[in-house]
Amino acid sequence: MTTVENVIPENKFEHISINLNGYGDKEVQIHEVEARLTSQRDSIERLNREIREMRDNVRSALHKFDKKTDKVELDLEDVNSILEDIGANKILFTWSATVTYTVTITGIEADSESEAERKALNAVDCRVDEEKCGEDAQVDNEEYEATDVEEEDN
């Protein structure tokens, strides 16, 4: 049996129509509806608090204006803070970096110095962690050089 209850919760909620479908026990129905409404009310109240806090943060940041010119001067850190507060992506720029790193590979099995050098260079693989640098980050102009290839003392 399907019944429709019109429920008007407190705290300025709009009219809500709830379809109570397939419940055998009306007391269980009411408690479950009350629990759902309480959960929704709590979520809405939390979101309202967050929105008020965001609004206050934006207003506070934008209050930095020159009274003579009525212009607001914000640096990138302020703008990104505002954007982050409202759940928007920060303003980012694309950068490039030349990174030099040195590794020593030991235990290379080879019959000559040139073979050891070739194996060492083939073993080196430079990868970029996209989570740390961004999804468009890539390695360009890979250059590897083997220096000081020496036979190890056994």
Q: In the predicted model, is pLDDT for residue 154 greater than 80?
A: no
Paired with 149 in beta bridges are none
Place of tokens 């705290």: 11
68-125 pLDDT, tens digit per residue, is: 787 877 889 988 988 888 888 999 988 888 888 788 888 989 999 999 988 888 888 7
Q: CB pairs under 8 A, 24+ apart, for 81-84?
A: 81/57, 82/57, 82/58
pTM listed for this prediction: 0.45
Beta pairing partners, 91:
none
